[in-house]
Amino acid sequence: MPRNDALRSAIVAAGLTVADLAGKCDVDAKTVERWVSRGRLPHPRSRVRAASVLGQDVDVLWPEVVRRAVKVGADRELVGVYPRRSDLPRSLFRELIERSRSRLWFGGYTSYFVWLEVPNAAGTLGAKAGHGADVRFLLGDPASPITASREQIEDTPLTLATRIAMTQAEIAKSPTPLAVRSSDRHISMSVWIFDDEAIVATHIGAGLGQDSVTLHLQRREAGGPFDRYVEHFEALWADAQVAERA
């Protein structure tokens, strides 16, 4: 995407630096730099924060929002596309978890990064489950030959089996038991669903999960892309095995 000159000018006019704006928006400075230099579209909450700090309208800083607002096809469910999962706003998973009330489905093969990026995730998820939210973890099967084959491809000391075990250990800390099942069918694509929003990551070559091409979706219509990914998760869940407690 082209550089966002409107945002750059607004930062300068406000007498701020990229680092200043990042601090006021609770995101990493590199994230704000990508907003400017690569034209990345921030998460809606971050757009509103940044516009407020800079004294500008969101539509002036990100006219792309206007174009998306008038979409009429299935693509209107697409909130953002990221070349790598690591390009997601650092606070996104935390925000999705915090604001979800009814459904939090973790369909990552390890979902290991959640415990690194979301403070006290086990406690938060346990509390939500205790209040009736549907919290599920569909993890990879550490004993599967498919897992072993992928580990050879990734060739990293922190193996899939190790990451799965670490996630299981974190889940065990939840004050309320969480539903956990295992499968090897989602080795190449991860789906996380939070109420009516979803994050979908597709693995690329020998890259780790953080290198996956990633989509952020929000449900807008029945039978749209979001609903299809919900169907995908439910089908995998139905065929998966109940995982042993760590």
In this structure, the answer to whether residues 168 and 61 fall within a common structural domain is: no
Rounded to an integer, the average pLDDT of 210-228 is 93
In this structure, the answer to whether residues 166 and 93 fall within a common structural domain is: yes
What confidence category does residue 93 fall into, taking pLDDT thresholds of 50, 70 and 90?
very high
In this structure, the answer to whether residues 86 and 65 fall within a common structural domain is: no
Asked if residue 159 has pLDDT above 70, the reply is yes
> For position 217, what pLDDT does the model report?
95
In this structure, the answer to whether residues 87 and 54 fall within a common structural domain is: no
**Cα within 13 Å of Cα(100), Cβ side:** 29
- Give the amino acid at 157: P
* 21 domain residue, yes or no: yes
The string of pLDDT tens digits covering residues 42-86 is 888 899 899 999 999 888 898 877 666 555 567 789 888 999 999
pLDDT, mean over the chain: 91
What confidence category does residue 131 fall into, taking pLDDT thresholds of 50, 70 and 90?
very high
| CATH number, domain containing residue 15 | 1.10.260.40
* 31 domain residue, yes or no: yes
pTM: 0.71
Rounded to an integer, the average pLDDT of 173-180 is 95
The string of pLDDT tens digits covering residues 182-212 is 999 999 999 999 999 999 999 988 888 888 9
Asked if residue 245 has pLDDT above 60, the reply is no
Residue 97, class by beta-carbon neighbours within 10 Å (0-12 exposed, 13-18 middle, 19+ buried)? buried
In this structure, the answer to whether residues 61 and 90 fall within a common structural domain is: no
> For position 7, what pLDDT does the model report?
94
- Alpha-carbon gap, residue 113 to 96, rounded angstroms: 14
* 185 domain residue, yes or no: yes
* 25 domain residue, yes or no: yes
* 77 domain residue, yes or no: no
Number of domains the chain contains: 2
Instruction: Using alpha carbons only, give the angle 213, 37, 22 rounded to the nearest 5 degrees.
Output: 90
| CATH number, domain containing residue 141 | 3.30.870.10
Sheet holding 189-194, edge to edge: 78-82, 213-218, 197-202, 189-194, 103-107, 134-140, 179-183, 241-242
> For position 68, what pLDDT does the model report?
61
Which among 23, 48, 70 is the end of a domain?
A: 70
In this structure, the answer to whether residues 58 and 125 fall within a common structural domain is: no
In this structure, the answer to whether residues 104 and 210 fall within a common structural domain is: yes
Rounded to the nearest 10 degrees, how much is the dihedral formed by the CA atoms of 219, 222, 224, 229?
A: 70
- Alpha-carbon gap, residue 176 to 87, rounded angstroms: 32
Rg over alpha carbons for the chain, rounded to the nearest Å, is 19
Which among 17, 50, 70 is the end of a domain?
A: 70
Which among 70, 95, 124 is the end of a domain?
A: 70
* 76 domain residue, yes or no: no
- Alpha-carbon gap, residue 1 to 62, rounded angstroms: 12
* 236 domain residue, yes or no: yes
> For position 33, what pLDDT does the model report?
94
In this structure, the answer to whether residues 167 and 204 fall within a common structural domain is: yes
Asked if residue 221 has pLDDT above 60, the reply is yes
In this structure, the answer to whether residues 226 and 195 fall within a common structural domain is: yes
Q: Which of 106, 101, 12, 1 is nearest to 55 (CA)?
A: 12
Range of the domain at 40: 5-70
In this structure, the answer to whether residues 225 and 108 fall within a common structural domain is: yes
Place of tokens 């989602």: 186
